[in-house]
Amino acid sequence: MSEPEPVTTLKTSILEMLEETFAQPQGYYLDRAKGGLFATLEAITAERASLERPPQRSIAAHVQHMRVYLVALHGYMNGATGATDWEASWQTHEVTALEWKTLKNTLKKDYAALMHDLAALPEGDSRLSETVAILAHSTYHFGAIRQLLLS
């Protein structure tokens, strides 16, 4: 008698899709060879990350906005109630090599904190559904970054 297939839960799906987007593509919707967001960002110089072609924002601006969004929604999941200045989240324009490295590392730390907290949530926790917004938002901006790299 064969073992039944494990049931995929919302929690498992969200964790896998966030990992696919940020860290380690498994082939669900990203090409494994191109890597996730972190691998893509590692290949971008500070000069390239700072390039703006109006009306498009720079890659650095997209990364900072993604980071602020991730931190804000993670905070809301944990009971934070303060307002977020979304316009300020787009104020990163030009970055030095050190600022670019710091921004990428900060995004990685914020992502790791989110994943840690998500992994600790019990199945069926209502906060899991809130993370779908983080996934959709992050995936959108990752796509925008990849499009900017084509120009």
pLDDT digits (tens, 9 = 90+) for 112-124: 999 999 999 998 8
pLDDT band at 31 (very low <50, low <70, confident <90, very high): confident
**Would you tell me which CATH number, out of the four given (1.20.120.450, 1.20.120.160, 2.60.40.10, 3.20.20.70), belongs to the domain 10-150?**
1.20.120.450
Share above pLDDT 90 across residues of the chain, in percent, rounded to a whole number: 68
- State the Rg of the chain over Cα: 17
Taking residues 84-88, report their average pLDDT. Answer: 93
Q: Which amino acid is at 54?
A: P
Token representation of residue 2: 């064969």
pLDDT digits (tens, 9 = 90+) for 17-28: 999 999 998 888
Are the C-beta atoms of 82 and 110 separated by less than 8 Å? Answer: no
Classified as helix, coil or strand, 50 is helix
